[in-house]
Chain A
Amino acid sequence: MSESHDPKDAHAGHSHADVDRHVRAAYYVFGSLLVLTGFTVGAYFLHLPPRTAIALALLIATVKGTLVAAWFMHLVSERTLIYWVLGLTAVLFLPLLLLPTLTVLDGIVLP
């Protein structure tokens, strides 16, 4: 196995320019997350109807989650295999979330 032990190779796969771009993006994401957190809390004090409030809060949370996953977790530039793993997770996650809910909402009354 030919592992390099030279600190100069610590950036294997990442140039310094790449890292600087990544750090700059992280600051933008940080600012966006703080602003979106403000929106989330602000929306609470608007006393919106429950359905609207839930939809808005989940929409903002989804945008925030996407920012974290895409930039902090490097998913904007990840290998294809990781996308497949996450795609499979999503396929399994949706029934997990929906099936119990659909069961509760099932209006069929058994005799």
Chain B
Amino acid sequence: MSMEIPYTVELRPDTGLNNGKLGIWLFLASEVMLFGALFASYVMLRIGAPEWPRGSTYLNIPLATLNTVILISSSVTMVLAWASLVKRDFSRFRLFMGITILCGLGFLVVKYFEYSSKFHHGYFPSTNTFLAIYFTLTGLHGLHVIGGMAVNGYLWGPGSALWKTNPVHFTNRVENSGLFWHLVDLVWIFLFPILYLL
């Protein structure tokens, strides 16, 4: 016996949304609270500290700027991937989604070099409060990048089979994945100045 999930394509009369869209926004709201709690912790730790180092004391601003440009670019290619599906151009979707995934990979490679450099210089989360919150915030953000890449990779590869049987549902899935990816970008937009520049 198979059970069909309702309102994956058409809009629910009471919400005016399909279920996936409402679900992803509720999830994003919980993500805002998660990162909000960590931002609050950052503020509290910074206010309570007798002294607080400038980010550049430990961190590499050019690399972080490069990562900012990479994530912003990936947000645009994500929009282009979704727009390609709406215009029924599957090959362009594959291209732009592929670039989005590669941008995510590029971000992680840069982060790997950043982390390696810190460890090489003996900077660990246990070194001081600044590095503890730096590794916590960027580590959690990095996990979100990996999660977003996993979903995007699935939609680029095996998950794209849905396009042949139910293109509207597939387009909705890509839109929802895009919403998550943009949130990851949005969080980084705040992490960058707070950790590296202030």
Contacts and interface: CB of A to CB of B under 8 A. Distances in A.
Interface of A: 1-12, 14, 16, 19, 22-23, 26-27, 29-30, 33-34, 37, 40-41, 43-44, 50, 53-54, 57-58, 60-61, 64-65, 68-69, 72-73, 79-82, 85-86, 88-89, 92-93, 96-97, 99-101, 103-105
Interface of B: 4, 6, 8-10, 15-17, 21-22, 25-26, 29, 32-33, 36-37, 39-41, 43-44, 47-48, 56, 61, 65, 68-69, 72-73, 75-76, 78-80, 83, 85-88, 165-169, 171, 178-179, 182-183, 185-186, 189-190, 192-194, 197-198
Question: Helix, strand, loop or mixed for chain B's interface?
Answer: helix
Contacts, number: 156
Nearest to B5: A1
B36 A93 contact: yes
Question: Helix, strand, loop or mixed for chain A's interface?
Answer: helix
Nearest to B179: A73
B185 A97 contact: no
Nearest to A15: B86
Contact of A11 (B29, B86, B185): B86
Contacts of A57: 193-194, 197-198
